[in-house]
Amino acid sequence: MHIGVVEDNLAVLSMIETALTFHGYSVETYNNSSSFFSALEKSERIPPYDLVLVDLFLDERLGTDLIEALRGSITLSPGQHTQVIPAILISAAEENTLTPIRKRYPNLPILRKPFRVQELISLISKVTSS
């Protein structure tokens, strides 16, 4: 499974990359939204990722902006349906900040920081098996 991770905290990004690689995932990491969008445009994989982990608060964008872009931006080939790339939002935000996001995106899994690696691996398994 090929996973993209967008996280501006380099320590958290490194931890996630190490944990996912250890668990057998192929991982590409980005510390800002611009580099992620650039890689997304240049990707030759269709879809570019099997799953994307996105931090809520990034540099110049919100993680929800990236999730919006992932929803319906990947067309497999002419005449075929658009493919949605599954995403998990990660955040250290308080619940009152996350509540409107949960209402707007009821099917978007949100993983609260700090989290244990096993929580992340279990959530990835749950999201990708459904």
pLDDT at 60: 81
Tokens of 13: 């990004």
pLDDT at 59: 82
Buried b (16+ CB within 10 A) or exposed e, 50-62: bbbbbbbebeebb
Tokens of 124: 């990835």
pLDDT at 76: 43
pLDDT at 82: 55
pLDDT at 9: 95
Range of the domain at 17: 2-129
pLDDT means per 10 residues in the chain (130 residues)?
Answer: 96 97 97 91 85 93 89 51 81 96 95 96 93
CATH of the domain at 7: 3.40.50.2300
Instruction: Name which of 57, 54, 82, 84 is nearest 66 in CA terms.
Output: 54
Integer Rg of the chain from CA: 14
- Split into its structural domains, the chain has a count of 1
User: What is the H or E stretch that residue 49 is in?
Assistant: none
